A and B are shown apart, each in its own frame.
Chain A
Amino acid sequence: MDARRMSRAVPRVRQVGFFTPNTPAKQPQPQSAAPCSESPPLSDSPASNSLSPVMIPPPRHLSDNLGGRTAAVPVPGRENSGELPTVGSYNPSESVLSLDSPPRSRIGDEELSEGAESSLGWYRRSDSAKFASSLPSGGFNLSTAKHPESVAAVEAKNPLPEQSEAQKEQASSSKPLKAKTTKAERRALQESQRAAKAASRAEANKSGTPGGAPSSKPMKQPPQKKDGPPVASSIAASERIGVDRSVEKERKKDLPPPRKQFDDESRGGRAKRRSVLNQPEARNRVELFRHLPPHKNGTQLPYLGSKFFELHEKHPAVYKVGLQYLAGDLSGGNARCIAMLQAFQEAIRDYSTPPEKTLTRDLTSKIGGFVSFLIECRPLSMSMGNAIRFLKSRIARLPLTLSESEAKTTLCSDIDRFINEKIVLADKVILRHAATKIRDGDVLLTYGSSCVVEMILLYAHELGKQFRVVVVNSHPMLEGQKLLRRLVVKGLSCTYTQLNAISYVMHKVTRVFLGASSIFSNGTVYSTVGTASVAMVAHAFRVPVLVCCEAYKFHERVQLDSICFNELGDPDAISKVPGRVDVNYLDNLTDKQKENLELLNLKYDATPSDYISVIVTDYGMIPPTSVPVIVRGYRKEYLLI
């Protein structure tokens, strides 16, 4: 016990120092979800012992976001194969890692939860980690309340009968090990009973209720329970850490999924298997960008439409938005984000918690499922990632005393507030700031079609400022024409030109206004492809470049180039010119010839901060170097809302 207490201090120290507070809990999780690791006994216990926070985000996403379809499948089988050899090496690791047992027994609900790690520890831990990570408010640890439910959940997803057997097996196999202590015996007994209960759905239901009752009662406890072991000394502190930790988790979990490397064989294969859409062939794609998800064009619409009734777990509103993304009807960061949030809102309104599940957890995984569907239709933008993160943190932070309908209305109004405060009002503030930088006689240049820039131009026009606008456009998207039309209709005097002529028109320009899809914390602006060249030319001509971007699009990631993370557009879009039949040089190539041709249609590029004079955001005008301050402040703020 003493030894345990000693070692318990270790993670505590790490918690304070750096953001590894949840690494011990988290580490086993990717393992449990990753079926491809070769030597479980070796890789498991050292990994859970070692400090190195080896984390592989994609599996977690896989298990969390895709919830039902794939995650659980590998788990039991793996448990089965992995557990028996592990047992021997597991026990020491437990004592070193100092699992949560001692403090929990101190807390007093030992007979409820104690059984967990003694017999089923490995499995349970991984399980809990999964839940904790999918449930940021978390703090629920391996309490009994969770357990039957988790088992039930696994079973629901995966009606393999071996589940219960696996558990029994675990129980019996670990029993002798722990037989020295009577407590462990008790635990094991309990565990096996529980496993037996979980074996059948009906029984799981039954045990869910007694299990569920304590779960709702000690809901207040979870943070203590979880942090109790490491912190034990001050509960207030531990609660704070619990919050931080859940924040961390949330953040990690919501690392935008496009980080998935699509050229990775194994994962790519899995992605393909579980995807709703057919993945296009990876042939004829530029080598350097093979890691990016291939473009899915609208030709799959009918196919997806036909699958409508198969994918019933997708809410129709979400489905509709996804199809709109896919077809390209919805574009522009704000529009996409608002559409997504409103779809979620609708889905939340129609949501009802399934029996023996809690709203927080089930809804989070539901949302995760929606998100992964949307990602399949089109990779998320950073802003959407931030919005999702916000929503999930809101769900996680719902007071547990709320009834379901109250919780739903709270969430809906939270979403409304997010849209209103972070997008609509933010835009208004940006307008006002940016308009102060427009003087009479200015020539303003803008690239592509950014809705904020459009609003700024119209607003300045309403203020009666005399200025001219140069709209620069580039080929595949040609979205600048939309902007141009709206500006001309409102009576602004405009010049329209292609990106090729940028160095020619830049002479006369006095200000460059650009929109952004996201801004990274090193000040890099991630925006429509071509923005970087506009900014660079402007910088070379010493024209100030103003980037207008709402603060919710800021992202804490650092990115140095446009290669690591980007989005691929339709390659055909650049090889064909719509409406020009005479431009047909690339038509009628034989397959052999086509092999020599790689088409690259990137959607975004990264503009280094050197080329940006100012970022106009809802917090005012800031230099690109101050983005991290906003990101930090923002994170705090949207957690506090």
Chain B
Amino acid sequence: MWWRSASFILDRQQEQNTNLPPNPESLLLSSPPPSMADSLQNPKPDISAYYQTRAAHHAVVTSDWLAQAQAAVSVQTNDDVSSGSDGRVAPTCGGTGGDNKTFSVIDEFNSWRKQPDLAEAVAAIRALAAVIRASQATTMMELEIELKKASDSLKAWDATSISLTAGCDLFMRYVTRTSALEYEDFNSARYRLIERAEKFGEISYKARRIIAMLSQDFIFDGCTILVHGFSRVVLEVLKTAAQNKKHFRVFCTEGRPDRTGLRLSNELAKLDVPVKLLIDSAVAYTMDEVDMVLVGADGVVESGGIINMMGTYQIALVSHSMNKPVYVAAESYKFARLYPLDQKDMGPALRTIDFGVPIPSKVEVEKSARDYTPPQYLTLLFTDLGVLTPSVVSDELIQLYL
């Protein structure tokens, strides 16, 4: 039960006082966890909730974990992590649903989030749509404020998740943008908002399919694709290619520390796609054989670069220097209004790393879960808006937000 609220609280606490005394226990992770559930049991505070969710979706999710999660959702307000945390959770969650309502966006979001196939941003979009539906506001202004509050609380729930933030922002833009709403009476306007929200959710939900279709032109017979990390879009792309009877093989990086590459290779093996597993450090070694690099993205930032699982940057660098194309498959709800200038220019998203052996506590461990790949190392982005060059991302974002 600790994970949701604790990470949330810790995310907030990190912003306020960055120096939590590091749990020495967390550094001494010794045995490699056989399943994700095992590592989840270890209360390690400085973990990004976003990567928790991903871990839950991508790795084996045990039924008891789910049960615990459900329980946590139902009894969220009296989480028993620490008394201090309750005080923090309650007002934030209370504020979301409105003072006189029992509805909470976070709950809604969490229930959507449980669906393993549903991206976090889409879950957020659906949760926000539910806010409109459940709202008892009587004016557009009220509704908008309520929506704003809900999206803010969602964003605050996990500040490390780029797609959640971006999804909320996009939803707000998409839903509340038109001024035509002002001329209708409230009920029809509200109805229209709901309609639009559902449409947006639908679009976002279908985005993966669109991307898979768009990217087929780029996968040719006999090509070798290097894949890093586990991305559902990338999997969809490869799956569609396999269904289209394309002959290609895939190199999967191992994807330490959460071994997402292993998971992807499993999935691909099920599709009878020839797969080769590489350790993360063998990228440059194998790059000669590779025809293209295909990665997903946690977020696409305004410069046109991407934020993705740790290691993407170095793969992009290697492939750039060897003149191999780097393709990114990302849904447009991951377009975020961020502009990192360098690697350290983002809020940290930390995760545990297990080295298999005890690490002396004096030794520092780089725990960041993601890195930023600048746009000059990317060739094309496959998005549901079309196949874009990195510079178009910012154009789209400007048009959307201005």
Complex Cα distance, B401 from A633, in Å, reads 12
Which residues on B sit within 8 Å (CB–CB) of A633?
Answer: 398-399, 402
Best-buried of A546, A614, A619, A626 by chain B (most CB within 10 Å) = A626
Best-buried of B337, B399, B401, B402 by chain A (most CB within 10 Å) = B402
- A602-641 CB contacts (< 8 Å) to partner B: 613-614, 619-623, 625-626, 629-630, 633
Given A437-B345, A613-B341; A622-B402 close (CB under 8 Å): no
Given A613-B341, A623-B375, A623-B391; A629-B399 close (CB under 8 Å): yes
Which residues on A sit within 8 Å (CB–CB) of B337?
Answer: 620
- A511 at the A/B interface (Cβ < 8 Å)? yes
- B394 at the A/B interface (Cβ < 8 Å)? yes
Given A626-B391, A629-B399; A544-B342 close (CB under 8 Å): yes
- Min CB gap A412→B, angstroms: 28
Q: Is the CB of B398 within 8 A of A623?
A: no
- B339 at the A/B interface (Cβ < 8 Å)? yes
Which residues on B sit within 8 Å (CB–CB) of A437?
Answer: 341, 345
- Min CB gap A251→B, angstroms: 21
Which residues on A sit within 8 Å (CB–CB) of B341?
Answer: 437, 511, 544, 546, 613-614
Which residues on B sit within 8 Å (CB–CB) of A613?
Answer: 303, 341
- Min CB gap A327→B, angstroms: 40
Which residues on B sit within 8 Å (CB–CB) of A620?
Answer: 302, 337, 339, 398, 401
- Min CB gap A170→B, angstroms: 53
Which residues on B sit within 8 Å (CB–CB) of A544?
Answer: 341-342
Given A511-B341, A614-B303, A621-B302; A626-B398 close (CB under 8 Å): yes
Best-buried of A511, A619, A629, A630 by chain B (most CB within 10 Å) = A629
Q: Is the CB of A625 within 8 A of B401?
A: no
Q: Is the CB of B394 within 8 A of A619?
A: no
| CB nearest neighbor in A for B391 | A625
Complex Cα distance, B305 from A614, in Å, reads 12
Which residues on A sit within 8 Å (CB–CB) of B272?
Answer: none
- B395 at the A/B interface (Cβ < 8 Å)? yes
- B354-402 CB contacts (< 8 Å) to partner A: 375, 391, 394-395, 398-399, 401-402
- Min CB gap B191→A, angstroms: 31
| CB nearest neighbor in B for A511 | B341
- A554-588 CB contacts (< 8 Å) to partner B: none
Which residues on B sit within 8 Å (CB–CB) of A614?
Answer: 303, 339, 341
- Min CB gap A611→B, angstroms: 12
Q: Is the CB of B375 within 8 A of A629?
A: no
Q: Is the CB of A623 within 8 A of B304?
A: yes
Q: Is the CB of B399 within 8 A of A623?
A: no
- Min CB gap A429→B, angstroms: 12
| CB nearest neighbor in B for A626 | B394
Which residues on B sit within 8 Å (CB–CB) of A623?
Answer: 302-304, 375, 391, 394
- Min CB gap A148→B, angstroms: 46
| CB nearest neighbor in B for A433 | B339
| CB nearest neighbor in A for B395 | A629
Which residues on B sit within 8 Å (CB–CB) of A619?
Answer: 398, 402
Complex Cα distance, B375 from A613, in Å, reads 10
Q: Which of A621, A629, A630 contacts B339 (CB 8 A)?
A: A621
Complex Cα distance, B302 from A623, in Å, reads 7
Complex Cα distance, B336 from A620, in Å, reads 13
Which residues on A sit within 8 Å (CB–CB) of B304?
Answer: 623, 625
- Min CB gap B201→A, angstroms: 26
Which residues on A sit within 8 Å (CB–CB) of B398?
Answer: 619-620, 622, 626, 629-630, 633
| CB nearest neighbor in A for B305 | A623
Which residues on B sit within 8 Å (CB–CB) of A511?
Answer: 341
Q: Is the CB of B395 within 8 A of A626?
A: yes
Which residues on B sit within 8 Å (CB–CB) of A546?
Answer: 341
Complex Cα distance, B401 from A619, in Å, reads 9
Which residues on B sit within 8 Å (CB–CB) of A629?
Answer: 394-395, 398-399
Q: Which of B302, B342, B345, B375 contacts A622 (CB 8 A)?
A: B302
Which residues on B sit within 8 Å (CB–CB) of A621?
Answer: 302, 339
| CB nearest neighbor in A for B374 | A613
- Min CB gap B233→A, angstroms: 24
Interface string of B297-331 (1 = CB under 8 A from A): 00000111000000000000000000000000000
- A343-364 CB contacts (< 8 Å) to partner B: none
| CB nearest neighbor in A for B399 | A629
Which residues on A sit within 8 Å (CB–CB) of B302?
Answer: 620-623
Complex Cα distance, B176 from A290, in Å, reads 56
- Min CB gap B385→A, angstroms: 15
- Min CB gap B14→A, angstroms: 15
Best-buried of B303, B337, B339, B345 by chain A (most CB within 10 Å) = B339
Which residues on A sit within 8 Å (CB–CB) of B401?
Answer: 620
- Min CB gap A45→B, angstroms: 45
Complex Cα distance, B391 from A54, in Å, reads 34
Complex Cα distance, B341 from A546, in Å, reads 9
- Min CB gap A457→B, angstroms: 17
| CB nearest neighbor in A for B337 | A620
Which residues on B sit within 8 Å (CB–CB) of A622?
Answer: 302, 394, 398
- Min CB gap B401→A, angstroms: 7
| CB nearest neighbor in A for B342 | A544
| CB nearest neighbor in B for A637 | B402
Complex Cα distance, B394 from A619, in Å, reads 11
Complex Cα distance, B400 from A626, in Å, reads 13
Complex Cα distance, B302 from A437, in Å, reads 14
Which residues on B sit within 8 Å (CB–CB) of A626?
Answer: 391, 394-395, 398
Complex Cα distance, B302 from A614, in Å, reads 10
| CB nearest neighbor in B for A619 | B402
- Min CB gap A612→B, angstroms: 11
Best-buried of B337, B341, B391, B399 by chain A (most CB within 10 Å) = B341
Complex Cα distance, B304 from A626, in Å, reads 10
Complex Cα distance, B398 from A511, in Å, reads 24
- B259-310 CB contacts (< 8 Å) to partner A: 302-304
- Min CB gap B157→A, angstroms: 22
| CB nearest neighbor in A for B339 | A621
Which residues on A sit within 8 Å (CB–CB) of B375?
Answer: 623
| CB nearest neighbor in B for A545 | B341
Which residues on A sit within 8 Å (CB–CB) of B395?
Answer: 625-626, 629
Complex Cα distance, B345 from A620, in Å, reads 16
- Min CB gap B257→A, angstroms: 27
- Min CB gap B159→A, angstroms: 14
- B101-146 CB contacts (< 8 Å) to partner A: none
Complex Cα distance, B293 from A186, in Å, reads 78
Complex Cα distance, B398 from A614, in Å, reads 14
Complex Cα distance, B342 from A626, in Å, reads 19
Interface string of A303-318 (1 = CB under 8 A from B): 0000000000000000
- Min CB gap B165→A, angstroms: 15
| CB nearest neighbor in B for A613 | B341
- Min CB gap B380→A, angstroms: 15
- Min CB gap A622→B, angstroms: 6
Complex Cα distance, B397 from A629, in Å, reads 10
Interface string of B35-74 (1 = CB under 8 A from A): 0000000000000000000000000000000000000000
Complex Cα distance, B124 from A79, in Å, reads 73
Which residues on A sit within 8 Å (CB–CB) of B303?
Answer: 613-614, 623
Ordered by A's residue number, 29 sampled pairs between the chains whose C-beta atoms are within 8 Å are: A437-B341, A511-B341, A544-B342, A546-B341, A614-B303, A614-B339, A619-B398, A620-B302, A620-B337, A620-B339, A620-B398, A621-B302, A622-B394, A623-B302, A623-B303, A623-B304, A623-B375, A623-B391, A625-B304, A625-B391, A625-B394, A625-B395, A626-B391, A626-B395, A626-B398, A629-B395, A629-B399, A633-B398, A633-B399
Supply 9 further A-B pairs (C-beta < 8 A) apart from A613-B303, A622-B398, A625-B304: A614-B303, A619-B398, A620-B337, A620-B339, A620-B401, A623-B303, A626-B391, A626-B398, A629-B398
Q: Which residues of B contact A (CB under 8 A)?
A: 302-304, 337, 339, 341-342, 345, 375, 391, 394-395, 398-399, 401-402
Q: Which residues of A contact B (CB under 8 A)?
A: 437, 511, 544, 546, 613-614, 619-623, 625-626, 629-630, 633
- Which 3 pairs of residues, A with B, have the shortest CB-CB distance? A625-B391, A544-B341, A621-B339
